[in-house]
Amino acid sequence: MENSGIIYNEDNIKSLDWKEHIRLRPGMYIGKLGDGSSQDDGIYILLKEVLDNSIDEYVMGNGKQIDIYIQDGVVKIRDYGRGIPLGKVVDCVSKINTGGKYDSKAFKKTVGLNGVGTKAVNALSKYFKAQSFRDGETKLAEFACGELKLDAKIGKTTENNGTLMEFVPDDTIFKHYKFRNEYVENQLWNYAYLNAGLKLNYNGKTFVSKNGLLDLLERKTNVENLLYPIIHLKADDIEIALSHNTQYGEEYYSFVNGQNTTQGGTHLAAFREAIVKTLRELYNKNFDSRDVQSSIVGAISIKIEEPVFESQTKTKLGSVNMEPEGTSIRSFVIDFMKNHLDNFLRKNKEISDVILRKIQQSERERKEIADIKKIANQRAKKANIHNKKLRDCRAHLTDGKKTEEEIKLGTTVFITEGDSASGSITKARDVMTQAVFSLRGKPLNCYGMTKKVVYQNEELNLLQHALDIEDGIENLRYNRVVIATDADVDGMHIRLLLLTFFLQFFPDLVKHGHLYILDTPLFRVRDKQKTFYCYSEQEKQKAIQQLKGKAEITRFKGLGEISPNEFEDFIGDNIRLDPVILGEKTKIEDLLSYYMGKNTPERQVFIIDNLKVEIDDIISEKEVMEMNEEEIETV
């Protein structure tokens, strides 16, 4: 080997202390960073890491209430457990591999044993405070980016036992971050469901559950669409809930020791397998697993000692045996389901009959579209989708250094319309992680149609193949699916049509937080020295004031008007994405019917009340009420 001329000696070997390593490689500890627009972004992992300690106290029988306060990026969490031993407060939040969870007698079946949690929060926060209250005494420590700034002496207190932690995420790491209430509340509800009786107070709102996973499914689904009452079964270390509904796809929620395993793992795979096995044996027929699993909504929670996760953020459970018996997770879950679910269905024949009819209906529908599906798949292959419609990202051409899940986690696909828009984004994107799918014209309004139409319509068929969601979102190729349309009437219409497509046929893609809207600037305001990109009229006026009124103003009507160089600012580090979030009580059928069904007086009134211009200047209310559906959509 040739001598490169580079000197390699002791000076090249560097040792980083704990906080420097976490700050240099935050992704190793909390996954992706993000700005809070995704439910798995880093700021929510920071919140989870602190909450997990408080939850573990409750699991061990200490404290029945946790108070959470988030305002302007400041997070405060107060539990009423035993409190950190006063002499170890600093060590517990600033020394790796230090914590009570290493003592298996004190903490069993807790979320994790890596000893990193609050240390990562400390290192990645520009301000971090830990205060413990124990038996009339208190200990306080304050940090900045992991550096100890205040190590107060132990003092007297009248506070109840427990721990108070406060932190402010470092905005040099979490750029433009924002805590979204919907995601925080979803986290807290999950904690409540998995810890029946625990009271979580968040900014004046209380989260508490009496019936665990039964409450979870009732909140997550439209109960009116369920084909039968939710089946809720429990035993030592396992709890499940399930039903069938009228929507396409499958929808699951899985947990290990209170941790929401959003990427599933061995326990969820076993749950899905167990449902199929149990029902096949119950009905004594070898049903296709797709027909059994179609339209299922389910949840599973298990508790095990020393769980092994496939990622630092604990979102996917790996292979692990149940101690002390040495039973595999798979056999544990399958045995439970074969005994308890089978017994339940034999005692509740009316529910058993409904499930059988649903399986038979799914079987008929699958066979009806089999030929159409085969032809559509051949057509998609012939269309050479990866060259003509989809400009893929290179991350999918992995060299084996990353797992498939890690690749998906960092990838985004933009769905665009028109050559100019797709061309600009394609040139400006990060080719490693960002892909572009180009639509041709407006997609079909598929509201009220069956899935047969997806295979019959070339654009929709090619889109589902590009995302690899034909058989559900388990194989979804991208973590973020972004609708990128023009900010005009046609662009809004295309956005609605795409939302209808996903909500109608792939609602779990939306419910699991994968769908976004690209927020692009409406105006460019500039002079010879500065340029501002403005996303609202208010931002435009502010920019004009900063340039002292002497500015050139450009109104962007379409994405194609934005140059590739400018796009680099909008789809890179400064990307603005609006997540598509379904409200707690949102009923998809009612939502689609209202916006995409036949025109109704209610929708006409909504349009009249929400026109962004003075309606009297353009058209009278009487004229609007007399419009047909096509004319209303044009307005």
Query: What's the pLDDT tens digit per position in 503-548?
Result: 888 888 888 889 999 888 888 888 888 888 888 888 889 989 888 8
Please give the residue that has the higher pLDDT: either 570 or 539: 539
The answer to whether residue 390 sits within a structural domain is yes
φ/ψ (deg, to 5) at 109: 55, 45
Q: 109 with 219, same domain?
A: no
CA 66 to chain centroid, in Å, comes to 24
* Lowest-pLDDT range of 87-91, 320-324, 387-391: 320-324
CATH number for the domain including 377?
Answer: 3.40.50.670
Structure confidence by residue, pLDDT tens digits, 571-617: 776 778 888 887 766 677 777 776 777 766 676 666 666 554 444 44
Most confident region among 108-122, 252-266, 322-336 by mean pLDDT: 252-266
Q: 219 with 296, same domain?
A: yes
SS (H, E, C) 500-550: HHHHHHCHHHHHCCCEEEECCCCEEEECCCCEEEECCHHHHHHHHHHCCCC
Please give the residue that has the higher pLDDT: either 308 or 54: 54
Structural domain boundaries, residue 614 = 598-634
Among 24, 211, 22, residue whose Cα is nearest residue 118: 22
Q: 483 with 497, same domain?
A: yes
Q: 172 with 66, same domain?
A: yes
* Count of domains observed in the chain: 4
CATH number for the domain including 243?
Answer: 3.30.230.10
Q: Which sign, positive or negative, has the C-alpha torsion 625, 629, 633, 635? A: negative
Measured CA to CA, the distance from residue 210 to residue 195 in angstroms comes to: 9
Of 505, 520, 535, the one marking the end of a domain is 520
Q: 226 with 351, same domain?
A: yes
The answer to whether residue 202 sits within a structural domain is yes
Measured CA to CA, the distance from residue 431 to residue 108 in angstroms comes to: 45
Mean pLDDT over all residues of the chain? 81
Q: What is the DSSP string of 411-460?
A: -EEEEEESHHHHHHHHHHS-TTTEEEEEE-SPPP--TT--THHHHHSHHH
Task: Report the first-to-last Cα separation within the chain, whole angstroms.
Answer: 71
Q: 160 with 246, same domain?
A: no
Cis peptide upstream of residue 564 (ω within 30 degrees of 0): no
373-380: which pairs have CB atoms within 8 A and are 24 or more residues apart? 373/455, 375/455, 376/455, 376/456, 376/461, 377/465, 379/458, 379/461, 380/461, 380/462, 380/465
Residue 162, classed as helix, strand or coil, is strand
The answer to whether residue 550 sits within a structural domain is no
Measured CA to CA, the distance from residue 206 to residue 67 in angstroms comes to: 9
Of 368, 383, 415, the one marking the end of a domain is 368
Please give the residue that has the higher pLDDT: either 397 or 355: 355
Chain length of the chain: 635
Confidence of residue 213 (pLDDT cuts 50, 70, 90): very high
Q: 267 with 279, same domain?
A: yes
Q: 423 with 341, same domain?
A: no
The answer to whether residue 5 sits within a structural domain is no
From residue 589, give the alpha-carbon distance in Å to each of 505, 507, 593.
Answer: 12, 11, 6
Amino acid of residue 364 = R
Q: 203 with 229, same domain?
A: no
Rg (the chain; Cα; Å): 27
Take residue 29 and report the two structure tokens written for it: 């500890």
The answer to whether residue 571 sits within a structural domain is no
Q: 241 with 255, same domain?
A: yes
Percentage, residues of the chain above pLDDT 90: 27
pLDDT at 585: 63
Structure confidence by residue, pLDDT tens digits, 464-486: 888 988 887 888 889 899 998 87
Of 520, 537, 565, the one marking the end of a domain is 520
**190-215 burial, b for 16+ CB within 10 Å, e for fewer?**
bbbbbbeebbbbbeeeebbbeebbbb
Q: How many CA atoms lie within 13 A of 616 on its CB side?
A: 0
pLDDT at 449: 83
CB–CB of 486/423 below 8 Å? no
Measured CA to CA, the distance from residue 425 to residue 568 in angstroms comes to: 8
Q: 115 with 235, same domain?
A: no
CATH number for the domain including 190?
Answer: 3.30.565.10
Q: 384 with 509, same domain?
A: yes
The answer to whether residue 347 sits within a structural domain is yes
The answer to whether residue 560 sits within a structural domain is no
The answer to whether residue 549 sits within a structural domain is no
pTM: 0.75
**pLDDT higher than threshold 90 for residue 200:** yes
Q: If you average pLDDT over residues 620-630, what whole number do you get?
A: 47
Measured CA to CA, the distance from residue 163 to residue 80 in angstroms comes to: 7
pLDDT at 631: 47
